[in-house]
């Protein structure tokens, strides 16, 4: 064991804050400690004390072998998982245990920490009677601007559901990038951003009289990179759940250290390269770029959810599900799918069984239809 301690010491991360305050050390100095690499292992079924047996094996190996094997352990999610808030072990199971009832109050789960890894955009909206055909001019009856994009909308939805919502992203080094960050933080999101030297990506969105949105993006998608040490990737190990929207394979490996990991099927190439287990894969059946076919990922996701707007969708396992009724008049469809995915991530992290989690996600998506533009809504559990 002495050799293992020495090895882990060499692999230790740079000093990180002991507390979880979002502000930096320069503003609020406090004691620091070394964040240690956490060896965790995952498989399809839980096996008690597996990690202990692995540690004994590593202790008998040469330093080179130890480094190789520990690296493999760190890239795979754990069979034995420590609940950081309760200090006990919860073996991984197909059907998750329900979250401690002491964490519930008025339908809101207390102390839940969730995160999104993904991109954001500055959205310029224009409401028109219909989207103009080629060569036509359309006159808007309303226009507005706000922060959005897949990662932004999902993080805002989680901010309405969980105690903490964190966003790991990359932002343009310009005024638009700074506006995106300021608005998300003002709406309750803890933004961890790496500056991209390129201009902030933005999008123009037509909203027609039926509420349907049509989007044109401007500029390349800025993806957070897992090797970028400007982002506090170690924080993801403390999250109850993470929704992966965009990033590279290294970022996805970091995200897998959370208790629950979901991802959009739009990032299928990255998911294939990383090869990490997913608790849920979420995509739109109406978007060819989000189509997933069984066998495309190894290991296969535990839950695959395909949405189809007002028709509901299909989950595997589980079968078809119906769409939830909007709690008011439909204003527009922008962000409904991202709110659905964020709601599913929250529900799975809270311990709801898969089908209950899908039903809750459908309510989140339906509620988002009742607001203008980026308008996720709080939805009570149960």
Task: Provide the token pair at 190.
Answer: 């803890």
Q: Kindly report the number of other CB atoms within 10 A of residue 21's CB atom.
A: 12
Helix (H) or strand (E) run with residue 176 in it? helix 175-186
Please tell me the distance from the alpha carbon of residue 219 to that of residue 118, in angstroms, as a whole number.
16
Cβ–Cβ < 8 Å for 343, 351: no
What are the tens digits of pLDDT across the range 219-260?
999 999 999 999 999 999 999 999 999 999 999 999 999 999
Residue with tokens 């590593």: 58
Q: What's the average model confidence in pLDDT over 47-71?
A: 44
DSSP notation for 189-239: -EEEEEEESSPPPEEEEEE-TTS-EEEEEES------TT-TTS-GGGGGG-
Q: How far is CA 229 from CA 101, 187, 282, in A?
A: 37, 26, 28
> What does pLDDT average to over the chain?
81
Tell which residue, 378, 290, 291, has the closest CA to residue 339. Answer: 378
When pLDDT is cut at 50, 70 and 90, the band that residue 1 belongs to is low
Q: How far is CA 216 from CA 30, 123, 175, 220, 243, in A?
A: 45, 10, 21, 12, 24
Q: Return the DSSP state at 285.
A: T
Residue 185 has pLDDT above 50, yes or no: yes
What are the tens digits of pLDDT across the range 18-51?
344 433 343 344 444 334 344 444 444 444 444 4
Provide the 3-class DSSP secondary structure of residue 321: strand
Task: Provide the token pair at 375.
Answer: 């308008």
State residue 203's pLDDT score: 97
Residue with tokens 């739009």: 266
State residue 382's pLDDT score: 73
When pLDDT is cut at 50, 70 and 90, the band that residue 61 belongs to is very low
What are the tens digits of pLDDT across the range 259-270?
999 999 999 999
Residue 190 has pLDDT above 90, yes or no: yes
> Bridge partners of 307?
284, 313
Q: What percent of the chain has pLDDT over 70?
A: 71
Cis bond before residue 299 (omega within 30° of 0): yes
State residue 31's pLDDT score: 40
Residue 75 has pLDDT above 50, yes or no: no
What are the tens digits of pLDDT across the range 84-103?
333 333 333 333 333 433 34
Residue 74 has pLDDT above 80, yes or no: no
CA dihedral 221, 225, 230, 234 (to 10 degrees): 130
Q: Kindly report the number of other CB atoms within 10 A of residue 178's CB atom.
A: 15
Structural domains in the chain, sorted by start: 2-89 (no CATH), 102-368 (3.40.1190.20)
Please tell me the distance from the alpha carbon of residue 184 to that of residue 191, in angstroms, as a whole number.
7
Provide the 3-class DSSP secondary structure of residue 323: coil
Please tell me the distance from the alpha carbon of residue 9 to that of residue 257, in angstroms, as a whole number.
20
When pLDDT is cut at 50, 70 and 90, the band that residue 157 belongs to is very high
Q: Kindly report the number of other CB atoms within 10 A of residue 291's CB atom.
A: 15
Q: What percent of the chain has pLDDT over 90?
A: 67
């Amino acid at each position: 064991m002495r050799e293992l301690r020495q090895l882990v010491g060499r692999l230790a991360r740079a000093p990180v804050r002991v507390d979880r305050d979002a502000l930096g050390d320069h503003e609020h100095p406090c004691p620091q400690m070394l964040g240690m690499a956490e060896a965790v292992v995952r498989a399809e079924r839980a096996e008690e004390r597996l990690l202990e047996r692995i540690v004994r094996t590593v202790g008998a190996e040469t330093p080179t072998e130890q480094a190789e094997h520990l690296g493999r352990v760190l890239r795979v999610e754990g069979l034995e998982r420590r609940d950081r808030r309760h200090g006990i072990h919860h073996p991984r199971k197909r059907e998750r245990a329900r979250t401690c009832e002491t964490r519930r109050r008025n339908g809101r789960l207390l102390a839940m920490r969730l995160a999104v890894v993904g991109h954001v955009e500055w959205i310029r909206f224009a409401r028109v009677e219909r989207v103009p055909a080629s060569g036509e001019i359309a006159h808007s009856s309303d226009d507005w601007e706000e922060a959005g994009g897949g990662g932004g909308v999902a993080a805002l939805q989680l901010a309405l559901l969980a105690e903490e919502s964190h966003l790991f992203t990359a932002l343009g080094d310009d005024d638009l990038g700074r506006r995106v960050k300021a608005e998300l933080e003002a709406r309750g999101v803890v933004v961890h951003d790496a500056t991209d030297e390129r201009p902030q990506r933005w999008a123009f969105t037509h909203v027609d009289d039926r509420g349907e949105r049509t989007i044109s993006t401007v500029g390349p998608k800025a993806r957070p990179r897992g090797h970028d040490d400007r982002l506090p990737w170690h924080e993801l190990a403390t999250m109850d759940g993470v929704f992966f929207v965009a990033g590279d394979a290294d970022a996805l490996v970091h995200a897998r250290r959370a208790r629950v990991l979901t991802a959009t099927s739009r990032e299928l190439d990255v998911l294939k390269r990383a090869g990490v287990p997913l608790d849920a894969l979420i995509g739109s059946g109406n978007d060819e770029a989000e189509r997933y076919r069984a066998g495309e990922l190894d290991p296969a996701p535990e839950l695959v959810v395909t949405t189809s707007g007002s028709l509901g969708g299909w989950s595997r396992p589980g079968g078809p599900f119906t769409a939830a009724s909007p709690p008011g008049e439909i204003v527009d469809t922008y962000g409904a799918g991202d709110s659905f995915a964020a709601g599913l991530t929250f529900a799975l992290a809270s311990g709801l069984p898969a089908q209950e989690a899908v039903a809750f996600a459908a309510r989140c998506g339906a509620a988002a239809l009742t607001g203008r533009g980026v308008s996720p809504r709080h939805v009570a559990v149960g």
